[in-house]
Amino acid sequence: MLDTDPSLIAALRADLAAADYSVTRVLDLLGPVAANALAREQVIPAERVTRESTDPAAVLVRLFTLGDPVDQARVEAALPRLGAAGALRLGLVRAEGDALLALVDLRPYGDDEHTWWIASDLSELATRAPLPVDHVLGVGGASATLAAWTPRPRVRRALDLGTGCGVQALHLSTHAEEIVATDISERALNIVRFNAALNEQDWDIRQGSMLEPVAGERFSLIVSNPPFVITPRDHGLPTYEYRDGGQSGDAVVEHLVTHLGEHLEPGGIAQIIGNWEVVGDAAWGERVADWAARAGVDVLVLMREMQDPAQYAETWARDGGQQSGTGEFARMYAAWLDDFAARGVSGIAFGLITLHRPADERTPWIEIRDARGPVRPPLGPVLLAQVEARDWLARHTDQEVLDTAWTVAPDVTLVQVSRPGEPDLSYLELRQSEGLQQSDLLSGDFGTAAAAYIGVADGELTARQAIVAIAALLDRDQAVLLDDFTIRIRQWVADGILR
C-alpha cells in the first residue's frame, strides 16, 4: 500500500520535477526505437539505452517502468530529497541486498500544457508474469481514447466513475472546479489517493460499485472508462477488477447508458467508452439503440471498431498476460466462444457513447453512427460541437433552420465531377479534413443545387434566400428544393459541415 505522508510526497514531487521526469524528457532519453518498442511492451531496447546512464530520469525509468533492480546509491542520487528511506516509507520500493526494486509503476504523463506523474501497479513487462486480478491499470490505450474524445467545457462538478489510477480525473482537473472520483477497488483507491496528493489535487474520492457512491447526485460532466470487457461467467476465468464489472455480457455498459442520464444536470454531458454485443443477424446498432431509447436523454453513439467473437476472445485472453499456444490460453479462448455462442453473439462493437441532458423539456434525440474511419484529433471539441449542434436543431423548427445564415466549416472541401456538356454534376462530394473526416456524396440534379448552395454559404444569405435564388437560376420547383435542402442542411449542421 502507498503512503500519502505530505512531507514525503512533497519531497518526491520536488525530486521528480528536478529530474525533469517528463514525457518529453523520457522520450528524448529513450529515442524513438526504444520508446516504440516499449509501447509494444518490449523492454530490451529501453534497458540497453538506460543501463549505464546516471541521468536521474533514466534511473527512474529503469526503476519504475522497466522494473529493474537499481543500486540504492543511484536511487539516492536520482531522488535526493526523498532518499531511499523515503521511497521505502512511501511504499514505492522494496530493498533486495544493495538494490531497490519498484513496488509500483511511476511515470510522467501529460498533455500539451501539463506534466503529471501517475503511479499504478507494475505492468506485465516489469513483473514478467500474468497480472493479478486486483491489478490497477496505468494509462492504457482505452484511457487515452476516452481522454482524447471527452468534450471539455468548463464545468462546476465532474465525476470520474471507475477512476483506477485517476488519469481521467487529472484531465478533468484542467476544466472542472470539483471532482468526484469513484472505484470499487480498494487498491485503486489507495493509488488514486497517492496520485491526487502527488499532483496536488483535492478530489472527493469514494469507494463503491457503479453509480451507488453518487446516488441522488448530479454532475455537469461524467466520464467513465468502465470495466466494459465482456467476460464469460461460470468458466473459472480470472475476474480482473480493472476490466470486468462482474456482470454477464454487456450489462455494465447497458446499465450506464440507461442510468447515467439521471445523474446529469440540465445541459450536462456524460462520455463513456465500451463494448456492446451484436446478436445474430441484427444490425450492429440495434442493441445500443434500444438502450439509448431507455436513456431518457440525448444519445450519440460513434462505433469505432467491430470484432468477431474469435478476435474478441484472442484480445482479452492475451490481455491478462497469457501467451497464445498455452493450455490456459486455449481454455480461455474456448470459454469466450461458448459464452458468445450461448447468447447468439455474432459481433462485438466498440465505441464512444455520449449522453446529454437537454437544458429544457424536449424529446431527446438519438444518433448512432458508424465512425470506423480515420479521425484527426482533437476529438473532444468535435463531439462537443456535434452535441451542441444537435441540441440547437432539436430546439428549432425547419423554418428557423431555413432562416439562418449558415457558413461552410473551414475544413470542408468540395469535389465536383461532371461529364463535359452535361448540365448536372455526376456527383458532388463534401469532405471534412478535420475531426471525424466525414464526407457526403450527392449526385444528380440535387448535387448541382447543393454545389451552388455550398458555394454561397458564407454567413451572408440565409439558407432560404440562397435556395430561392438557386431555384430560379436552375429553373427548379422552389418548394421541392426547400424541402430537400431542409433535410440535408439539418444533417450538415449536425455533422459540423455547416456552422
Ligand X SMILES: C[S@@+](CC[C@H](N)C(=O)[O-])C[C@H]1O[C@@H](n2cnc3c(N)ncnc32)[C@H](O)[C@@H]1O
**Which residues in this chain contact ligand X in the complex, by CB under 6 A?**
137, 140, 142-143, 146, 162-164, 167-168, 182-185, 188, 209-210, 225-227, 241-243, 245
Length of the chain: 499
For ligand X, which is the closer residue by CB, 85 or 251? 251
For ligand X, which is the closer residue by CB, 143 or 190? 143
Task: Calculate the alpha carbon distances from 439 to 27, 173, 368, 414, 445 in Å.
Answer: 36, 35, 16, 10, 19
CB of 64 to ligand X, least distance (A): 18
* Residue 132 to residue 239: CA distance in whole angstroms: 9
For ligand X, which is the closer residue by CB, 226 or 447? 226
CB of 348 to ligand X, least distance (A): 16
For ligand X, which is the closer residue by CB, 185 or 231? 185
Give the closest residue to 430 by CA, choosing from 462, 455, 403, 401.
Answer: 455
- Count Cα neighbours of 171 within 13 Å in the Cβ-side half-sphere: 26
Rg of the chain over Cα atoms, rounded to whole angstroms, equals 26
CB of 326 to ligand X, least distance (A): 25
* Residue 368 to residue 298: CA distance in whole angstroms: 11
For ligand X, which is the closer residue by CB, 122 or 481? 122
CB of 135 to ligand X, least distance (A): 9
CB of 190 to ligand X, least distance (A): 12
Cell readout for 462 is 440565409
* Residue 139 to residue 107: CA distance in whole angstroms: 9
CB of 412 to ligand X, least distance (A): 33
Cell readout for 408 is 461552410
For ligand X, which is the closer residue by CB, 158 or 498? 158
Which residues 6+ apart lie within 8 Å of 35 measured at CB?
26, 27, 46
CB of 435 to ligand X, least distance (A): 22
Is residue 146 left, alpha or beta, with left meaning phi > 0 and alpha meaning psi from -120 to 50? Answer: alpha
* Residue 457 to residue 460: CA distance in whole angstroms: 7
CB of 22 to ligand X, least distance (A): 20
For ligand X, which is the closer residue by CB, 175 or 396? 175
Cell readout for 487 is 433535410
The 10 Å CB-count burial string (b at 16+, else e) for 3-25 is bbeeebbebbbebbeebbbbeeb
Note the Cα 272 to chain centre separation in Å.
Answer: 7
For ligand X, which is the closer residue by CB, 72 or 225? 225
Which residues 6+ apart lie within 8 Å of 147 measured at CB?
167, 168, 171
